[in-house]
Structure 1
Amino acid sequence: MSSVTSAEPAQLRRNSVGLASAVIMSAAIMGPAVSTFFNPQFSTPFSGEATPFVYVACLIVMLITASGVMEMAAVAPSAGSFYTYVSLGLGPTMGFVAGGLMFVAYALLPPIEIALIGAYLQQTIKQAFGFDIPWIAISILPWIAMTVLALEGIRSTLRTAMTLFVLEVAIVLLMAVIVMASGGAHGVTATPLTPSASPSGLQGLITGGVFAALSFVGFEGATTLGEEVRNPRRNVPLAIALSTLAVGLIYVFCIWAEVIGLGPDKVNALTGSSTPWNDLASLYAPWMTPLIIVASVSSMAAVMVNGNTGVVRVLFAMGREGMLPSALGFIDPKHGTPRNAVYFQSLFSALVVIAVGAVSGGLANPDGGSNVYGYCGFVLTLAILLVYILANLAAIAFFRRRGDAHPLRQMLLPALGALLIAALFIAQIILQTDPPYTWMPWMIVAWLVLCIAGAGWLRMNRPDVLAKAGAVLAAED
């Protein structure tokens, strides 16, 4: 499938990366170590000892949800990712809406990791050396590194991500094996893999599930490389499947090991500011403590860098097609990178970190950085859940309209994926009782309405621009 535009659009550097890099793109955004070290303690106040079960359920749901995304990636590779898929399947209006929701989801990934790096290192340095450095000061360094790597180009970014990914996975798996081999706090048991272990019943499982879903955000990250990866129609869907399954299994095993190692009482008492893997290292392998710190920071950095790569390409694609200011579609002639989109996202990340951190705990208190991660992470997860629904509905509509839909892969599985994600989103609204999480779904609903209104304005005032949504695809090899 070739580009359907008559003018020659700005293009990213083709054939820059292979399958392994595409797998790393998705896997590193999910962040096995950071999601294992920091996400469960946002779930445990709700799902408690049953948090490993929540991750098993979430893995199954995400594999089903990924089906429609993979089918669209195979026929419509593009840097626009979901924005392009939804435009082609459900029309340009909904494509614009998907792009708006993607912006919330992807654009918040870099700042939450920047803040978490600062908060985690502030606590770690204080525990180890006794002096207190404000988390916001520490966060400046990863923010600068993220921006520089994005300007250098995709190869530098993915080489860095691959190194960090291999390091973090090796360390987190080693620690989990040590815990399980030692028998944990009260022996190895399968109880944490059952729903009955939830101290708060169904409500706890549902809310815990949203934070488990946060751990899977980014499984589709390879789709944003659709114009840069070799053989994208094969490699992008394969990268999605491989990364989702592999990282999901790592989550389940390692979080099961965490619950076994700490025991039910300690697990049920965890909060978002806890550092349970530091505790596991001190209990079972004190020599692992420095490695846990290294894995934590490297994983957060990998999510930050790859999340930034993804959102920059979505901004570029929408700017290139006129959905956003055309300056965002500019390509730096030397590095082949969307320079203006990089600068925009870098500034946005800094503003989010400072604003949310200041009002939710302060720029010197590590709770401020942890709350940036918890609150913004919850919001971005809700936004991406709606995008997943739209992407699966788009796949059904696209292949049905084309007249050659495969009953299972392109109809039944996408429909089931959309229903499962919709159920999670709606259940969150119905069952959530803890502020500020109670009003966060309504923030996303309000943003959805604004995006629909924006698409309506484009349809009335710039219909030629709206009609081009999703038009620029990767060229045939």
Structure 2
Amino acid sequence: MRRNLTLWGALGLSLAITAPTLAMGLNGALPAKLAGPAVPLVFLIGFVGVAAVMYGFVRLTRYFNHAGSVYALAGVTMGPRAGFFGGFALLGVYTALAISTLGSTAQFAKVFLADAGVHLDIPWPVIALATLAFATYLATMDTRNATRVLLAIESIGIVLMLVIVVVVFAKLAGGDAPRGQTFSSDVLVPSGVSFGAIMAATVYAFLSFAGIEGAAALGEETRDPRRNIPRSIIGAVLLTGVLYFVVMLAQTLGFGTDAAGVKAFGESGAPLADVAKSYVGSTVATAFSGAATVSSFAATLGCVTAASRILFALGRDGFGFAAWAREPRRGGTPIPALLTVAAVSVVATLAHAIAGTSPFDMYFYWATLGVIGLLVVYAVTSLGALRYLFTRGLAPRWEAVIPVVAVAYLAYVFYKQVWPVPDPPYNLFPYIVAAWLLAGVTMIVFRPELTRRIGEGFERAEGLLDNEPTAPSNT
């Protein structure tokens, strides 16, 4: 692959997969049902947890960069078997997130058309499949152009969000809120909300950060990756963490922290757009719905791009069909791997259309599956960082507490997805993820030649398996 991406290109992919505009447009509703007015606290805890988890990615990508992301990071730090397990899990995560964003794009598109007064009864699967087709086409183009588009799209959405936030805070401070809403300490010190409920809701904060490490999959396409990949991950975490807290604070206070406000927040199909209508006006609300639609499309593009890199890296080392390992010729994109991810997404979309699933539910179903898998992927990376960095003296010993806290946090959030048993069909999702992971373990056990080829692949890869890595310039 050609190294033609800058820091901003890598940052663009991380932001596209994370999709801040999409996340802030949808992801506050379910936490409001679980944690009431404590939604900002939920996202603050999620920010701290994700920052601890990203420590491993930041530290390890200063030494190793590979199209397989976790596939290589876990493989180098804990061996080829762990590498395949992590890569196989991450392939499932990015594919699930790609499918979920097709649902969110359709959801936002219908809201946008309604807000704009365009009364077209377009079936949501048509919107989803058109989104996938266009995203797949753009993903075949030069990676530099695609990442520039992604960064520009998210920048527009972020500006619109900040406009809404400023107006909401100004009206709250001036006593001009629609229902007399005011600032309240319940957003950080909630009364009547259990700690367990708050932690259970953090899975949706994790959903909002999902893919924040996406730049790691561009390790073979980015200039000076040992410097630019860690910087792009740090930048994406800090930008989204602060943005999410501020925007969720504005949404929670905008709806109101009383029972009526919390109920309205939890039942909203497009909460930030609804707040914009109440505080700013229908024009800005419509503009935000349009930006959220485009942001969701960008997330699809980012997810299929990242998933195709993971599949290409796995195929290059002997997994699956030989076509998946075909070297990119146009724009640095592995076309067969990309088309495979797109085909799986088509099948999933059609299955939901036949089953009568709404696009809102399709988004949360697949996003939840992706996040549960991501908890496992992040834990593998954190354990690898703990083992590798501190046995080789590559990081100060006191920093070992960070990956330990990360793993403990991930384990607790995973536990909260299993117990208390969630309502159907969410009660089945941990077992679906477990089945996918078990499939990966089965391949490791019954295909020892695959493990051998993976190890050989790491030995051939640039910058991997150095016996005495030296730290690059400070990030």
Tell me if both proteins adopt one fold, taking TM over 0.5 as the criterion: yes
> C-alpha displacement at 1:467, in angstroms?
2.8
Aligned letter for 2:414?
Answer: F
What residue number does 1:99 align with?
87
Aligned letter for 1:194?
Answer: L
Aligned letter for 2:286?
Answer: P
What residue number does 2:198 align with?
205
> C-alpha displacement at 1:118, in angstroms?
1.3
Of 452, 459, 464, the residue aligned with 2:441 is 452
Aligned letter for 1:55?
Answer: F
Deviations 1:206-231 (A, max 9, x none): 22111111000111011111111111
What's the TM-score, normalizing by structure 2?
0.91
Of 128, 132, 148, the residue aligned with 1:143 is 132
Of 414, 419, 433, the residue aligned with 2:422 is 433
**Is 1:54 matched with 2:42?**
yes
Query: Percent identity of the aligned residues?
Result: 25
What residue number does 1:294 align with?
290
Determine if contact 1:76/1:473 at 8 Å carries over to the other structure.
Answer: no
Between the aligned partners of 1:246 and 1:105, the Cα distance in structure 2 is 23
Determine if contact 2:67/2:309 at 8 Å carries over to the other structure.
Answer: yes
Determine if contact 1:222/1:239 at 8 Å carries over to the other structure.
Answer: yes
Between the aligned partners of 2:17 and 2:61, the Cα distance in structure 1 is 18
After superposition, where does 1:228-239 map in structure 2 within 5 Å? 228-239=221-232
Alpha-carbon distance change, 163 to 430 in structure 1, aligned in 2, over 3 angstroms: same
2:427 aligned counterpart, secondary structure: coil
1:431 aligned counterpart, secondary structure: coil
Aligned letter for 1:211?
Answer: Y
**Is 1:322 matched with 2:318?**
yes
Aligned letter for 1:125?
Answer: L
Determine if contact 1:77/1:473 at 8 Å carries over to the other structure.
Answer: no
Between the aligned partners of 2:183 and 2:279, the Cα distance in structure 1 is 18
Aligned letter for 1:284?
Answer: Y
After superposition, where does 1:47-86 map in structure 2 within 5 Å? 47-86=35-74
> C-alpha displacement at 1:299, in angstroms?
1.3
Deviations 1:244-291 (A, max 9, x none): 011111010001101111113233344476122222222111131221
Alpha-carbon distance change, 430 to 416 in structure 1, aligned in 2, over 3 angstroms: same
**Is 1:402 matched with 2:392?**
yes
Deviations 1:51-110 (A, max 9, x none): 110000000011111111111111111111011011111111111111121011111122
Deviations 1:337-390 (A, max 9, x none): 10111111111111122213432x34xxxxx21111011100100000100000
Q: Which runs of 5+ in 2 are unaligned?
A: 465-471
Between the aligned partners of 1:83 and 1:232, the Cα distance in structure 2 is 17
Of 278, 281, 284, the residue aligned with 2:276 is 281
> C-alpha displacement at 1:121, in angstroms?
1.8
> C-alpha displacement at 1:166, in angstroms?
1.0
2:14 aligned counterpart, secondary structure: helix
Aligned letter for 1:326?
Answer: A
Determine if contact 1:27/1:243 at 8 Å carries over to the other structure.
Answer: yes
Of 376, 380, 393, the residue aligned with 1:390 is 380
What residue number does 2:467 align with?
none
Alpha-carbon distance change, 466 to 226 in structure 1, aligned in 2, over 3 angstroms: closer
Determine if contact 1:332/1:339 at 8 Å carries over to the other structure.
Answer: yes
What residue number does 1:5 align with?
none
Between the aligned partners of 1:273 and 1:310, the Cα distance in structure 2 is 31
Between the aligned partners of 1:272 and 1:111, the Cα distance in structure 2 is 23
Aligned letter for 2:370?
Answer: L
Between the aligned partners of 1:43 and 1:448, the Cα distance in structure 2 is 27
Of 216, 219, 222, the residue aligned with 2:215 is 222
Aligned letter for 2:435?
Answer: A
After superposition, where does 1:458-473 map in structure 2 within 5 Å? 458-459=447-448, 461-468=449-456, 470-471=458-459, 473=461
Between the aligned partners of 1:402 and 1:326, the Cα distance in structure 2 is 37
What residue number does 1:3 align with?
none
> C-alpha displacement at 1:419, in angstroms?
1.3
Q: Which runs of 5+ in 1 are unaligned?
A: 1-11, 363-367
Between the aligned partners of 1:456 and 1:401, the Cα distance in structure 2 is 27
**Is 1:358 matched with 2:354?**
yes
What residue number does 2:468 align with?
none
Determine if contact 2:182/2:256 at 8 Å carries over to the other structure.
Answer: no
Q: CA RMSD in A?
A: 2.1
Between the aligned partners of 2:450 and 2:225, the Cα distance in structure 1 is 32
